[in-house]
Amino acid sequence: MQDARRACRDVTAIRILALAASVTAGALAFVFFLRIGIADGLDLIDVLRSLLLLVATFWLSWGAMQAFIGLSTPALAPQIDRSAPLAARIVVLVPIYEEDPLTTFARIAAMDMSLAATGHGACFDMAILSDTSDAVVAARERLWYLHLLRARHGPSRIFYRRRASNRGKKAGNIADFIRSSGAAYDYAIILDADSLIEGDTMVEMARRMQADPDLGLLQTLPRIIGARSRFGRAMQFSAAFNAPVFARGLAMMQGRSGPFWGHNAIIRIRAFAQSCGLPELAGKPPFGGHILSHDYVEAALLARAGWIVRLDDDLCGSYEEAPENIVDHAKRDRRWCQGNLQHARLLFAPGLRGWNRFVFVQGILAYLASVVWLAFLLASLAAPVFGPPVAAFPTQYWPLPVTPPDQTVLALALVSGIFGLLILPKLLILADALRRGRARAFGGGWPATASTLSDVLLSSVIAPILMMYQARSVFQVLAGRDGGWPAHDRSAGYLRLAQAFAASHWIMACGVIGLALALVLSPGLLVWFLPVTLPMVFAPVIIAWTSRPAMTRLFRIPQDLTPAPVMLLQAAVLARWRAGDAEDAPELWADRV
């Protein structure tokens, strides 16, 4: 009990420290920018720009603080008795929706083989929960499921169910399973269709649940694998190199009210069934109807009921895939944007903990930040039009003109501070990786350094493009447009220039207009606007270029050098199934089913 109280005090202190530092950074940005504006006469638009910069700087600092906190301590595994027998029934849930059955079922086969190799495979079942509405895809799912059963010898522990109605999407799919079959199991490991987890990792997750009866949900940190494009490999490297440090800071900050990202996590079924019934919000989408970003809400409901929700950032062997190009990333982000803004309806739901309400605010601010930055840029362009004229001879009999005081030092300090919040966390993570030897797993010191600097450069170039996509998503949601829950095209990758132009011509037009306005209204700001507007002008070229295959020497991750065992199993299964012989190709014996 004393240890729990001490841990609670530590989490509270970390939260206060992070919040105070972020508010201070925002306040300093506000004061510095206001002093720069006062130099030529204070006006309303200067106050507006200062307030926008306060919000934007606060958000940048909040993200940076997670990295700084994460660097303070290493990730440690909890002390539990791993020699005790695994006395639990666990089901691995794989919700699918319009997926390619070949690759999806190959992942399931690989995870089943990996579980069998642990010696605890008998404790685990697998349930494929299909929400597919396309009849042709559904027929292929059934064929590959039968093939999967034929390929896996011995008693089958893999089940397949397709819902007649996909009401509630993924959350409804899992809820239906828990209502109909959840009582047969103690825990459920929830995956996505592109998830891949080592058998040893799943056993360890179950052991940690078994060791702590108050633990309702345990979230792992998924690592991105399988990327081939420049954009995909940069995201993959950042997820492997930087994300563990940010996740460590997040875990220390969240404490017992941790996150749930909807997949690659294990839940206690009794706790989930008792606590996580999701309401259907009144009204029509995008703000009404089913809750899209259900995972954060489920984590909040578990915490409200007194269950521990924890992120164990030390767990390895948890993987997922990610979009290979900016356009597909933006499409997925559109759904997340709608789901996060929808959480505004839940901010004052009864009984929620204050921290969970703040998590909702963070999710909303993550998307509003793009609108804030865009508004700051537009206000800066408009400042010369709406600002007061500067009087060169304000005193009647003074013979010399009076010029505004030089604020160059303040301006440079402000720019340096904001730029530092963007890149300093990554540079500190690189320095820490070099010092501790973690960089060796990424090919060595020089390759890790080159990859980090390339990641900083690439993320700086694509940031204005992603800002425009996010801002458009926010405006669409606020205008009442429902983005729905589109199926993922996981095979999409390379985009031709014409395709990239069709998806981003409006961003290019906005960039050209922004450059023209800066040239006409604020020539002195033109140089400062180039890092934002030039990537927008060349958005189609950047999107097409980043979708092409990357050099394998850049953005290396440990799994490139030493593939995880479950990845090798998946590759072997795919190679065998794609061989096309009569035993391994369901399409060849489809007429027999």
Each residue's pLDDT tens digit, 442-491 = 999 999 999 999 999 999 999 999 999 999 999 999 999 998 777 666 66
> Binning pLDDT at 50, 70 and 90, where does residue 550 land?
confident
Name the average pLDDT for the chain. Answer: 90
Pairwise CA distance, residues 94 & 194, whole Å: 9
> Binning pLDDT at 50, 70 and 90, where does residue 589 land?
very low
3-state SS of the chain: helix, strand, coil percent to 5?
A: 60, 10, 30
- Quick one: pLDDT at residue 384? 78
CA angle at 313 for the pair 310 and 317, rounded to the nearest 5°: 115
- Pick from 492, 489, 496: which is nearest to 544 by CA? 496
- Quick one: pLDDT at residue 523? 84
Each residue's pLDDT tens digit, 100-156 = 999 999 999 999 999 999 999 999 999 999 999 999 999 999 999 999 998 876 667
Structural element, H or E, at residue 361:
helix 354-386
- Quick one: pLDDT at residue 593? 34
- Quick one: pLDDT at residue 2? 64
Query: Candidates 3.40.309.10, 3.90.550.10, 3.40.50.280, 3.40.50.150; correct CATH number of 90-325?
Result: 3.90.550.10
Average pLDDT value for residue range 166-191: 95
Strand partners, 229: 549
pTM: 0.92
> Binning pLDDT at 50, 70 and 90, where does residue 293 land?
very high
- Quick one: pLDDT at residue 403? 43
Pairwise CA distance, residues 344 & 352, whole Å: 13
Scan for tokens 């090798």, then name that residue: 568
Phi, psi of 459 (to 5 degrees): -65, -35
> Binning pLDDT at 50, 70 and 90, where does residue 198 land?
very high
Which DSSP category does 524 fall into? G
Pairwise CA distance, residues 530 & 532, whole Å: 5
Each residue's pLDDT tens digit, 379-421 = 988 887 776 554 444 445 544 444 445 455 666 678 778 888 9
Are the C-beta atoms of 221 and 243 separated by less than 8 Å? Answer: yes
Are the C-beta atoms of 165 and 181 separated by less than 8 Å? Answer: no
- Quick one: pLDDT at residue 206? 98
Each residue's pLDDT tens digit, 17-60 = 999 999 999 999 999 888 887 766 678 888 999 999 999 999 99
